[in-house]
Amino acid sequence: MPHASLRKFAQPQLSEESILAVVEVLRSQWIATGPKVSELESALSATFGGRPTRVVTSATGAMEIALLLCGVGPGDEVITSAQSFFSAMNMILKCGARPVFVDCELHTRAIDLAQVEAAITPRTRAIMPTHFPGALGDMDALYALAGKHRLRVIEDAALVQGSLWQGKPVGSFGDIATFSFHPNKNMTTIEGGAIVVNNQEEAEQVDILRFHGIAKLPDQTRDVVLAGGKYNMSDVSAVIGLHQLQQFEDFMTQRAALAQRYFERLPTLPGVVLPPRDVAGQTWNMFCVLITYEQYQYTRASFRAALQEAGIGTGMSYEACHLTSLAKGLGYAEGMFPIAERIGRETVTLPLHVGLTLADIDHVCDVVARLLSQ
């Protein structure tokens, strides 16, 4: 009998201690932003090489704040990958700027830097790449390109908290990075996210942007200096994050073992593309496989339904952004970014979370092998 946890491709693991800590915060009466938020920010900052870190209510909110912090506004362009979650596209548009899509690489899904360079215009303000589990793009080349053209970089690191580039954690170097603590991510605060910035001045700007545009005056009265939003995290969420952070290394070790098992046990079949394997220092939030379903008499929908039938839940990460109605309204169309489109068509996310055992992964691999051998 497969483990019940296989019914979901992702799920959080909350320790009993963290649940008790939530109760304690609730009883303390200080439930909105307070000491736990500050503690979590310090603890996270330590994992990002001491760089200034702020937590907010989602990665999406963090990305909007990052764009505003970089001065992105109407008339500007931000270059981003067509293969990503919808947040980047949406937040760029929400700031009044235009998302300029480019394609990505097939295996790493990293933004195609040659296409980034070709897409740069005098209106370009920033590059917004998305990182995927298994491998990062060439961060040295990305920052060299950004430096050459004086562009800001906002790394969407929602999926790769803990991943390393040449031994350095994502977020500990570079320009701005944003992270997600949604329950499906490497750690959770229920909903939540973080933004890592360059210096104290930027961190203070984030404080203003995330809380009503309020700047405190020396006489303790308040001024509003910009039309800010409200993205502050609650202490209830933050205390969960503090406990998750204590387990973070264990979580990543478990996830890596599960991913390794997929590589060992999944059948090597024509038309099946697995994620990058054996790249040092990578974390495994998701295990996404590409399959040319027609070759096996399936559609993606029928393949996912067959897995569902066998008690195995799957996800889809991600549809190509430029083929959404929103992006088509901006003039994007089918055929423009073939790799993002292929990933969007073929990707299926197999179960990977810390509630699973190696035997669970073996079961998934057996079912996949059986389905693809018929």
218-242 residues labelled b (16+ CB within 10 A) or e (exposed): eeeeeeeeeebbebbbbbbbbbbbb
**Beta strand pairing call for 98-102 and 77-81:** parallel
Q: What is the DSSP letter of 7?
A: G
What does the DSSP assignment read for 291-353?
Answer: E-GGGGT--HHHHHHHHHHTT---B----BGGGSHHHHTTT--TTSSHHHHHHHHHEEEEP-S
3 state SS of 78 = strand
| Position among 128, 136, 158, 343 found at the interface with ligand PLP (CB under 6 A) | 158
Give whichever of 58 and 124 is closer to ligand PLP, judged by the CB atom.
Answer: 58
Q: Tell which one of 47, 81, 83, 87 touches ligand PLP (CB under 6 A).
A: 87
Residue 163 structure tokens: 């991943």
Q: Is the Cβ of residue 104 or residue 159 nearer to ligand PLP in the bound state?
A: 159
| Selection from 173, 135, 158 nearest residue 88 by Cα | 158
| Residues numbered 218-237 forming contacts with ligand PLP, rule: CB under 6 A | none
**Residues of this chain, 19-58, that bind ligand PLP according to CB under 6 A:** 58
- In the complex, minimum distance from the CB of residue 309 to ligand PLP, in angstroms, rounded to a whole number: 27
| Candidate residues 84, 161, 186, 314; the one interacting with ligand PLP per rule CB under 6 A | 84
Question: Which uninterrupted H or E stretch holds 223?
Answer: strand 222-224
- In the complex with ligand PLP, which residue's Cβ is closer, 81 or 371? 81
Q: Contact with ligand PLP (CB under 6 A): which of 52, 99, 129, 193?
A: 193
Shortest gap between Cβ of 180 and ligand PLP (angstroms)?
3
- Distance from C-alpha of 80 to C-alpha of 327, rounded to nearest angstrom: 13
When asked if residue 85 is in the footprint of ligand PLP (CB under 6 A), the reply is: yes
Catalytic residues: 185
State which residue, 61 or 367, has the beta carbon closest to ligand PLP. 61
CA distance 105 to 114: 11
111 to 140, contacts with ligand PLP by CB under 6 A? 130
18: left (phi over 0), alpha (psi -120 to 50) or beta: alpha
Interface pick for ligand PLP out of 59, 259, 320, 340 (rule CB under 6 A): 59
Q: Which is nearer to ligand PLP, 182 or 353 (CB)?
A: 182
Query: Does the protein bind ligand PLP through residue 371 (CB under 6 A)?
Result: no
Nearer to ligand PLP, 182 or 210 (CB): 182
Shortest distance, CB of residue 359 to ligand PLP, whole angstroms?
A: 28
If DSSP codes are grouped into helix, strand and coil, which group holds residue 127?
Answer: strand
- Per-residue exposure over 299-315, b if at least 16 CB sit within 10 Å of its own CB, e if not: ebeebbebbeebebbbb
Under rule CB under 6 A, residue 180 binds ligand PLP:
yes
Question: Which residues are near ligand PLP by CB under 6 A?
Answer: 58-60, 84-85, 87, 130, 156, 158-159, 180, 182, 193
